[in-house]
Structure 1
Amino acid sequence: MKERSLIFFDIDGTLLNHKKQLPASTKEAIFKLKEIGHEVAIATGRAPFMFEDLREELGIGTYVSYNGQYVVLNGEEVFTNPLNEEALLQLTETALANNHPIVYMDHEDMKANVPEHEFITESIATLKIKSFPTYDPKYYEGRKLFQSLLFVQEGEEVQYEEEFKDFDFVRWHPVSVDVLPSGGSKAKGIEKLVEKFGIPEERVYAFGDGLNDLEMLTTIHNSVAMGNGVDEVKDVAKYVTKSVEEDGILHGLKMVGLL
């Protein structure tokens, strides 16, 4: 048997194609990795409740969610990095004054601070998930939130970046940005799991395609960008595989010698 490695996969544009479908070759490759004895994990900007079906289908119980803010090892929470509640309240007040809605997110649910808004409907619909944020403007009170969504058009987030240094703002949709704790990233969450597994960095791999994968692919020893990934990701990755539509995961795993 080959030495055990730890492989992290992003979801959207990496495991799932643009139609949010899991290619058959990807599923087979994941099961082959596990059969060989490797550890397989997910590293995503999604909330845990947004990929339960995928975890079940692939038999994966270890994941980095919310871009590193909520980390689970074999079904057990091992690391959390919540948003600063006071700063989030200030952000909410500014956003409301600018007619920019917010969605608050913990590990179980998400709630919007407005009853409805076209930007929320438009962006969440692209995820093709079962859940949808319902209205609860006080959801941030007395609970740990690991991410929020701020609904602004491209360029409008600049004023928030300048004013709210407790947060990082990462665009994931033309009308929405992720709001994360400053310095929080998939890479930080992955670091916690690598420590738990005790696997040396030269046997850690990561696959991704988007801007929220930049730090992960910059810091992970064996980084693989998807062929459909953005140029910034391809520039920092050690390897570039084919697109998700062209069996990119299977091709990439063979390229790096895991399969």
Structure 2
Amino acid sequence: MSYKIAFFDIDGTLVNEDKQIPQDALEAIFELKEKGVEPVIATGRAPYFFHHLAEQLHINSYVSLNGGYVVYQGEVIYKRPIERSDVECFVKRAAEHAHSLVFEGHHTFSTNNDQDPFMIDAVSSLKVELPLLHEAFWQEEDIYQIFLHCKEEDEPLYEGHVPGLRMIRWHHTALDVLPKGSSKAEGIHAMLDILKLTPEEAIAFGDGLNDMEMLNAVGLGIAMGNSHEDLKPYADYITTHVNEGGIANGLRYAGLIE
């Protein structure tokens, strides 16, 4: 198969635990571009959380916010915000249980509790600035994703409460909350349609639970050696750890770099 496009998750895939791109991964991406294959970021992060990484990689196309906001060569080609009524229901539910929320728009984000240690712990792990306090942000902007900050044992308090939403845990103090049916795969399909490419002409790399649909949506799904164990069954191939040449080795397996 001649692959034309490659989608890359960020955390644990393009960057390591220090949120740095390993040099071998950087060189592999540049070689991939020289071979005529387009690299695209595919992440749960919002655009303002990875601009610096995109600039370092010279990538201007991305599937962000777990498929909710998609940009190709600087142009927005797809967006799917959460229904305002669903956001309102979720806000009320979180207030009942005293759990903090972070609201993610496409250009900035905010929180309804800037002192919550759970929120500070989770957002700080991304090596980004903390959100400002703005409780009414969700009433003024389109929201593509919400961070819910709670312990794992509290998740049943929310499951099924708002039928239009689903949750994916990404940190021990945080979950992504997004529209039901939304995923990186949905955003990838939107981009492939624009480019008139088939899923079989695409490959994808990931390591987390929000990468399951993505690995199934392409011709070759590659899981990092450091992947969550529940992701690995969804992969066509398991490469090495992010710090052990995972990106380069995966691209070599795909026959895309030397």
Fold equivalence (TM over 0.5): yes
In structure 1, distance between residues paired with 2:113 and 2:124: 17
Give the conservation status (yes or no) of the 8 Å contact 1:110–1:132: no
- The Cα shift of 1:157 comes to 1.5
SS at match of 2:45: coil
In structure 2, distance between residues paired with 1:241 and 1:115: 39
What letter corresponds to residue 209 of structure 2 in structure 1? L
CA deviation digits over 1:88-134, x for unaligned, max 9? Answer: 112111111211011111011111012421011111111112x2211
The equivalences for 1:55-134 within 5 A come to 55-129=54-128, 131-134=129-132
Give the conservation status (yes or no) of the 8 Å contact 2:189–2:199: no
Give the conservation status (yes or no) of the 8 Å contact 1:62–1:73: yes
What letter corresponds to residue 176 of structure 2 in structure 1? D
CA deviation digits over 1:16-45, x for unaligned, max 9? Answer: 011111000000000111111111100000
**Partner of residue 19, structure 1:** 18
In structure 2, distance between residues paired with 1:6 and 1:96: 43
CA deviation digits over 1:136-163, x for unaligned, max 9? Answer: 0000113211001111101212221121
Query: Under a length normalisation based on structure 2, what TM-score does the superposition of the two structures give?
Result: 0.97
- Could you list the runs of 5+ residues in structure 1 that have no partner in the other structure? none
Q: Does 1:141 align with 2:139?
A: yes
Structure 2 vs 1, CA of residues 33 and 95 (structure 1 numbering), >3 Å: closer, same or farther?
same
Give the conservation status (yes or no) of the 8 Å contact 1:4–1:37: no
In structure 2, distance between residues paired with 1:175 and 1:199: 38
**Partner of residue 162, structure 1:** 160
CA deviation digits over 1:207-252, x for unaligned, max 9? Answer: 0000000111122221000000011211110011001010100001
In structure 2, distance between residues paired with 1:64 and 1:161: 26
Instruction: Indicate the RMSD between aligned Cα atoms, in angstroms.
Output: 1.2
Give the conservation status (yes or no) of the 8 Å contact 1:206–1:224: yes
- Could you list the runs of 5+ residues in structure 2 that have no partner in the other structure? none
Give the conservation status (yes or no) of the 8 Å contact 1:5–1:204: yes
**Partner of residue 249, structure 1:** 247
**Partner of residue 192, structure 1:** 190
**Partner of residue 48, structure 2:** 49
- The Cα shift of 1:3 comes to 5.0
Give the conservation status (yes or no) of the 8 Å contact 1:68–1:189: yes
In structure 1, distance between residues paired with 2:89 and 2:195: 39
- The Cα shift of 1:171 comes to 0.3
What letter corresponds to residue 154 of structure 1 in structure 2? E
Q: Does 1:217 align with 2:229?
A: no
Identity %: 39
Query: Under a length normalisation based on structure 1, what TM-score does the superposition of the two structures give?
Result: 0.96
Q: Which runs of 4+ in 1 moved over 3 A?
A: none
**Partner of residue 235, structure 1:** 233
**Partner of residue 204, structure 1:** 202
CA deviation digits over 1:40-69, x for unaligned, max 9? Answer: 100000000000000101110100000000
In structure 2, distance between residues paired with 1:163 and 1:102: 16
In structure 2, distance between residues paired with 1:169 and 1:3: 35
- The Cα shift of 1:199 comes to 2.1
Q: Does 1:7 align with 2:16?
A: no
In structure 2, distance between residues paired with 1:39 and 1:135: 38
How many residues are matched? 257
In structure 2, distance between residues paired with 1:229 and 1:94: 32
